[in-house]
Structure 1
């Protein structure tokens, strides 16, 4: 059954669908999702930004753990007829689909945040297209996509209201951020050391390590912002665009620092980079930006 579905997509391949498949896949990639969440967090609504960030983070961590446990091969590794496309994004094991999980968690949380019918329909279409694109590109089995959809939607529904309540209770929020941020950061650091020096399975754990690092840095950054900054998302359109572009450029520079990290420290370097991205985005940038008048403080 699964092979028949994969062969169906193989038989309808053409340049136009290749282009559309790549675009749809991009809409479920963590880089795109993070970029949208950061715009919302910096410029629109901090509470919504926190809820989106957390929903996606928890979903992707759960997905990474499942990948490390199941360790299923991808279709192009099993079926000779399928070459696979956009292979640079197919870095881990197959089950469940990371793009589909990310897209399902993000678009479900987005729909829950804005609660408008048009937004909900748009989000349902987007997560469906992301899942179909992974089948068309030959990098996931149907069961991977179904599991990713189920996982992302379930976790966003299960946790979003709790996260909403948590954000309104400052003391509980601080405890959550410090405890979970520390757990994620320490877990990511340990995995990076194991990957670097003890020959752990890179395919199983490298992506999970990066997500834990991003989560640890991001949550500790949220705690810093909550304690020391408390910025407002107001400002003119020009100010918001400048605020967003400056913050995003630094994110890209941190990620680009990979070229100066020795190959022998690839995993530890990855942990440091992703931790810095999370900490910069949610805490350090608001702190610096407030002093530079890119952000205004709470009145």
Structure 2
């Protein structure tokens, strides 16, 4: 059955659908998702930005653990007729689909956070398109996509249910951020060292290590921002755009620093980059930006 579905997508393939599938896949990738969450956090509503970040992170963490346990091969590795497209995004094992999990968690959280019917319909369409694009591109089996949808939606609902009351208590919010950030940082550090020593499966654990790093940096950054900055999102539109663009450029620079890291430190280097991405976005940049008058602290 799964092979028949994969062959169906192979038979309808054409340049136009290739283009559309690449776009649909891109809106379920980390760069796009981070960019949207960053805008919400800086310029719309910090609580909503925190909720989006937490939903996506927990879903992707669960996905990474499942990938490391199941270690299923991808369709293009099993079926000779499928070459696979957009292979640079097909990292790690196949089950469950990382793009679908990320997209399902992000768009579900977006719908639950803003509670606007037109947006909810759009979010449902977007997560379906992300999943279908991974089938069309030949990088995931149908069961991978189904599991990713289920995992992403379920975790977003659970996180949304418990997060609102927790966030409103500042001290609990800070303690939660410190605990999750510290545990993620420790787990990521251990995983990166084991990867660099060649003691664990690179395919299974590299992406999971990056999630730990992003979570560690991001949550410790949240704690720092709450204690030292506590900025307000209300600001002149020109200043909002400027602080968002500078923050995004910083993230892209950290992510692009891969080129200057020695190959011998590939895992530790990746851990450092993703930790800095999270810490910069949620804590370090707002702290620097406060001194530059890009972020105004609440009274």
Q: What TM bracket, shorter-length normalisation?
A: over 0.9
Number of paired residues? 299
- DSSP-derived class of the 2:83 partner: coil
The answer as to 2:179 corresponding to 1:179 is: yes
Residues 45-74 of structure 1, C-alpha deviation per residue, up to 9 Å, x if partnerless? 000000000000000000000000000000
Instruction: Compute the displacement of 1:281 (Å).
Output: 0.2
- DSSP-derived class of the 1:231 partner: coil
For the residues of structure 2 that align with 1:7 and 1:200, how far apart are their CA atoms?
A: 34
Match for residue 211 of structure 2?
211
- DSSP-derived class of the 1:232 partner: coil
For the residues of structure 1 that align with 2:171 and 2:295, how far apart are their CA atoms?
A: 24
Match for residue 263 of structure 1?
263
Match for residue 19 of structure 2?
19
Residues 62-92 of structure 1, C-alpha deviation per residue, up to 9 Å, x if partnerless? 0000000000000000000000000000011
Instruction: Compute the displacement of 1:199 (Å).
Output: 3.4
Instruction: Compute the displacement of 1:127 (Å).
Output: 0.2
Match for residue 282 of structure 2?
282
Match for residue 70 of structure 2?
70
What is the TM-score normalised by the length of structure 2? 0.99
For the residues of structure 2 that align with 1:173 and 1:243, how far apart are their CA atoms?
A: 24
Instruction: Compute the displacement of 1:170 (Å).
Output: 1.1
For the residues of structure 1 that align with 2:116 and 2:250, how far apart are their CA atoms?
A: 33
What is the TM-score normalised by the length of structure 1? 0.99
Instruction: Compute the displacement of 1:296 (Å).
Output: 1.1
Match for residue 230 of structure 1?
230
Instruction: Compute the displacement of 1:297 (Å).
Output: 1.1
- DSSP-derived class of the 2:28 partner: coil
The answer as to 2:46 corresponding to 1:46 is: yes
For the residues of structure 2 that align with 1:142 and 1:135, how far apart are their CA atoms?
A: 7
- DSSP-derived class of the 1:211 partner: helix
For the residues of structure 1 that align with 2:254 and 2:89, how far apart are their CA atoms?
A: 20
For the residues of structure 1 that align with 2:195 and 2:144, how far apart are their CA atoms?
A: 25
For the residues of structure 2 that align with 1:236 and 1:181, how far apart are their CA atoms?
A: 32
- DSSP-derived class of the 1:151 partner: helix
For the residues of structure 1 that align with 2:237 and 2:172, how far apart are their CA atoms?
A: 33
Instruction: Compute the displacement of 1:198 (Å).
Output: 3.2
* Matched ranges for 1:25-104 at <5 A: 25-104=25-104
Instruction: Compute the displacement of 1:160 (Å).
Output: 1.0
For the residues of structure 1 that align with 2:168 and 2:158, how far apart are their CA atoms?
A: 18
Match for residue 136 of structure 1?
136
- DSSP-derived class of the 2:81 partner: coil
- DSSP-derived class of the 1:135 partner: helix
For the residues of structure 1 that align with 2:179 and 2:239, how far apart are their CA atoms?
A: 34
Instruction: Compute the displacement of 1:163 (Å).
Output: 1.4
For the residues of structure 1 that align with 2:129 and 2:146, how far apart are their CA atoms?
A: 12
For the residues of structure 2 that align with 1:198 and 1:20, how far apart are their CA atoms?
A: 38
- DSSP-derived class of the 1:296 partner: coil
Structure 1 runs of 4+ off > 3 angstroms? none
